Amino acid sequence: MLASQWNQVIAADLRKVLREPFFWFIMIAPLLLAWGLREFLPYATGEYQNFDLPQYYPLILALLILTAPLYYGMVLGLQVLEEKDEKVLLAVAVTPLQLHRYLAARIAMFTLISIPLIVLVHEIIDVIEIGMGRLIWVALAASLNTPLMTLLLAAFAKNQLEGFVMVKGLGFIILFPLAMFFVPAPWHLLCSVLPTYWPIMAYFTAAAEAGSVTFFYFDIVMAVVAQLLATLLLYRKFATGLLSS
């Protein structure tokens, strides 16, 4: 019974995404960017040989692989805000499905879709070689940006309009740890208070020729723990605000 309800929820989400051109475009945008960079980066590297562009490849790819789950989280977050406005979530909260199960099924779908997308985006660009095993671990860690973005919007935006406005600022905050690429150790550890620091660090470690295996898996564990903890705290804030309104 519960599985059937989850299937209905997931199918309804897919219909919403396919019905809205904006959401549909956002979902495929990472692939379009990947194809563009696949052509542009080798061209720019050859055209501007006085500028060492390849040293910035890890930064560029880290940005793009984080963008995919952020986009998916934004799409779902805006849908949640729409349902919040229409009191759909309040109605769900008193059904046997319950609010946390309803959101968990939807978040899980978008998160799982983003994992192969991250791998595909990285392989399409094809300018940095990383073992497939490590790349999948990075994709798993980075995919948790999807629930993080979803619940950031749901917890702090009152409606879809506020959600659209927040997306710009949240993108900057979430991607801010990329600045550590330009900051020598150990100063970039100041960014470690942001959950997105850890998947970025995992990718940089995987991309480095002399990257430590131990440090890579430490980054992965920290990425999963930090992002899941932040997501749970955001869900608590969202649910408390929703049920008390």
pLDDT tens profile 16-54: 666 767 667 777 888 888 899 998 988 888 888 788 888
Per-residue DSSP letter, 54: G
| Boundaries of domain holding 63 | 2-244
Q: Is-contact 26 75, C-beta < 8 A?
A: yes
Looking at residue 101, its pLDDT comes to: 85
Identify the band that residue 236 occupies on the pLDDT scale cut at 50, 70 and 90: very high
Per-residue DSSP letter, 126: -
Q: How many domains does the chain have?
A: 1
Q: Of the candidates 241, 239, 219, which has an alpha carbon nearest to the alpha carbon of residue 101?
A: 239
pLDDT (tens digit per residue) in 109-142: 889 889 999 999 999 998 898 999 999 999 999 9
